[in-house]
Structure 1
Amino acid sequence: MRKYSSSSIFISVLLVFSVVTLISISEVNAAEVISVNAKGYENTIIIEFENESTSKIKTIKVWPGGEITFTSFKSEPGWGGGKYSDSKLLIFTATNTLNPGESVKFGLVTDEKVNAINWKALDPNDNDIDKGKISIQVISETSSDIIEEESEDVEQAKETGGELYGTKKFIPEQIRSGSDVRLVGNGFGSEKNLKLYLDSTILKSVNTDKQGNFLTTISIPDAYNVGTSEFIIKDEFENIQTTNISVKEPKNRFLKTSNFEVNNIPAEIRYEETLTISGNAYPQSAIIIAFENNERILEKTRVVSANANGEWIFEETIERTDDLGEKFVIFKNNQNKTTKNLTVKSDYLIQISMSAVRYNLGETVTITGTAEPNNDTTIWVKNENKKIVYYDVFTTNADGSLNYEFVTDDTFSSGTYTVIVKQESGSDAALFGIDKYPTSVIIALMEKTNFALDSKAILSIVGPTSSSVSITILDSNDNIKITDSITSSSIGKNKYAIDLDGLDSGVYRAVVSSINIQDSVKFSIGLESASGAISLISTKSNYSAGESILVLGNTGNNARIIITLLDPSGNVSAITETFSDSTGSFSTDDIGIPPDGVLGDWKITAHNRLDNNSVEINVSIPTGKSLTLQIEETQFSTGDIIIIKGIGQSDANRLKIQITNEIDDVVILLHTPITSSGTFYLPWTVPTSFDTGTYTITVSDDENSSSFEIFIQ
């Protein structure tokens, strides 16, 4: 047996210990070869790398992790940068290298605030030098690093940025150094991050709500220069809006006012908006604000106090429980009293109603309401089986008023019908019945088809009044993700905000139900537009004017698709967005041929970011015997020429045209031929002897007829 001396054993143990110690020291040194420091203010991060290793750094990668993305970045001269992995990764590459002892800074902006950043440094051969995760030190907007970085950014945006749209209002309008000012912004884009600057100095950052609005307080520095300054708003895409404002001297805090004034009150306000009113009064005194409806019935009372300078401000969100309509707002302060007017409106940008809820077959249905002015508007009419029986696209009036009419021809029958009117900004629905009153129905409408991750989706519900409504959100496998219930309003119309926080990207279904009635609507979250090759078909090859089109197709799974309908001249007649499900299938019936659509070959296209496909359809005269008037205007003056035209199938060679007044007296009788291709066309001049009023133009043969109402002034 071999023997070992005690000294040999000791030396061996010492050697092993030395090796372990050296390895440990090497590992410690390796973890500290790159010094990283990160500072952050809200979504802006300044990260600095100092090369304390013996290697040369060629590439630096940074990523926040999860679904957080970079919206923009800035690098020092000599470094190039780019976004990868759907903007979740930034890669910076040096023109030369970052040598030992040198440092570099990068400016990063994320779509939401983060607490730490992952990083990795590589040498010219793409070998790892060091990597880690650095916590972000939170700093204020007054930090010298932030001030310098933001100052450079805003100056660059002035030169290269686009125009940022939106309106703003300062309260009070007179801005003084050393004061706080309320800033109200409207229409700056949904859920955007905006930065506010005075000249090149950042004041703060704000986020807009779903409607693109914000309300915040900005502080004007005490020692800020008196005179004209530039107030700047910049979004994350470097679009800017600049306004010259006048900064006045600080107000004498010992100067007290006793005059009672109401300086700012809007003429109208909508649901979910913040009502802001301000003015002056005797310092520390109370201002009583009473709200009365147009019948002078008191609805609510509020009390605010003036500050030591005599300034007061009232703010309150208009809730959906508040009654709509004109209000009297009465302000009382000591012996002073004044009354202002205010109109509370619905936040439905589109709101429709029926002139009647019951019609007889053959009568004209009238839809009235308000909508976004001068916008393309789509209307669908669905029967009890949710089949579209009428379709049209029209442009709303310049004043936002909506007045649409159509005749219930032989495509209608006795039953309940749903009218849906849609614009890009939203949609609304109403019910009517033919030969009977409409039965109870509930309708679910989504604000749009695709929503961003962790945002809010707006669900519109039209149904029974003052009733309990259940809301369920299901994923593509019908797993329940959200359940809730609400009580419908007194007019049966409600908006419900679905919080999408925590829901994965994919296709979902919102189900709304009340007693014995139910409806559902699909929507998607976080889908991308790039999907792969697209197959496309329409369920028919021949269509008639006023007919809806059902489009089917297949592409990559869970992808957004744009569907466009082009008339024979290549003009866009309709456009809509849809999405594919987990199998890649997609469908939509949101497009159709308008009632005045021209005959010929039309084209339907489906496209995403990279791929497209198209299919042709033919629009022709219906095969059954019928007549359809296609008069483009509804209002005329005496002396105007009206083009009486249309399409149809008839055994007759000539058609009879009657024009009747409001008491059904025939005031004009005309005749026109119908061509072999099924069209008719007749110019007619309105006689100067015609009285102002409503007239009906009717074209007929021995079997069929079509009518159209006009107003002559």
Structure 2
Amino acid sequence: MRGVFLSLILYLTVAIIIPIYAYAEGAVSAKSFSFEETTIIEFTNTGNDDVSAFRIWLGSDNNFKSFKTENGWIGEKTPQGVIIFTSSSEVIKPGESIKIGVKTDKTSSGVNWKALDKSEQQIEIGKTIAGELPKLVTNPKPESKTIVSEGGVLANSSFRIIPEKPNVGSTIRVTGDNFGAVQELDFFINSNKISSFVTNDAGYFMTTVKIPENIDADRVDFIIKDKDNQEKSISLRLEEPANRILGSDDIKLTISGVPEILHRADFIEVSGTAQPNSGITASIKDPDGKIINTRTAKADAKGNWKVAEPIIVPLDAPFGRYSAVISDGREEISTTWMLETSKVILIKPITLKFNPGETMKFNGTALPNKSLELILEDPLGNEKMSDIIEIDETGNVEFEYPTIANVDKEGTWTLVAEQDGKREFIYAGLGEIPSIPINIEFDKLNYKSTETAKISLTGKPLDKLTMLIIDPSDKPKIIADNKNTVSITLGQDGRKTYNLELSGYTSGAYTAIVNKGASKSSEIFTVGLQTGSGPIKIVSTKL
């Protein structure tokens, strides 16, 4: 998407454009160009009042998929399909213009628009019909029959730069009046020649040029010079390149943490990247296209954002395909996932965060008329409570643990539920919002050296983990390819099974350690230990 917009805008910067206009009678004009489903609209304030906002919408047979606008402006798409562009600090002054890019479901037959003042009063309304990108047009060379002026730059010649506050790397429009008829002129920034062009037979010209990116953001002279070195100049300050439209160093809007398939009671953490310090809005739609949830986030100075609280899929959520639309005000993207019913254990905490001293409560459903094993672990992986409960014909599950303030460790607690060989991990926070930890589980505790250990790993979708095995003498064990570590990438559902060949493992206790950055989890397993039998004698001792 970024590449299409950038290529279109760059194309516009190198040509003197003769576009297809769709003017409204009044104070604002609009022209647009299209390439397949992408349309670029340029609004120009031809009146005397500042324009503070624009609204655009399509016909009933088409929809906006995404949009981009200039820095300093934000866009918001309403449920009715209207995109409203506003700015808290910018207005379009008389003679200035703004470009807006949109992508639609199909080739647009036209975009309806409305321009508003600061009081949201209508300045102009119209519809622009997009033409294809025009062919490159060069200024005509003087014909022999044309009356040519003796000079290019005259005493009363004048020109101006639009916008009046250009930035490094941006595209500007240069217009001039009262120059010599059919004269070739050169355009300079300081001593650097940028382009050449020819005036018409009335001594008028209008051209677009791109300010080079290697010029410092400082006051510069824009100069029009003829062949006799007569010149006119304007001195303006160039803004920093961060203010340019769709700069190549912009951070792309992305979303991560949403797998392709979800289940009821699933726990997900949504994050991504966006423009630094921008606000993020995520709207979630159900299979019928109805917005059922809206979350907001703030991108940090590096452009990273994260939804403050994890999302737990409701136990009664309808099955089907869901979608989320994410916007940072300048750009909009979407993602989809399927909600399926393959899980047999559906348990969730009654709230994401419990206060120390409160009773942690979990409820949900499992297979009816079967045993369910539950193990509750604290943030250090210590088992705090376990139980085996018989599920009745309703399939309902309830589990509680009374926490003790200043004793039970605060952080993310994990409830491990297992039934009929199916295992699920349920997370809740004590004293803080939980996060998805790294979990490692072996299919059994003790193995023979001829067996293969099946290791179940869970975490965030597509997490990249590193696993290390420590042998009974506290030394790293070679795992594969003469390396003592192995890299493992979790699947879209945040799960992965790793098969560890135990050939060559001597008898003893081993520790498997899984790392992701500063986070880690460990589990002990044994190889070759004999299973004893016979009576167990317990002897009491006095202290």
- Whether these two folds match at TM > 0.5 is no
Higher relative contact order (CA 8 A, sep 6+): 2
State TM-score, norm by structure 2: 0.32
Q: Which has the higher strand share?
A: 1
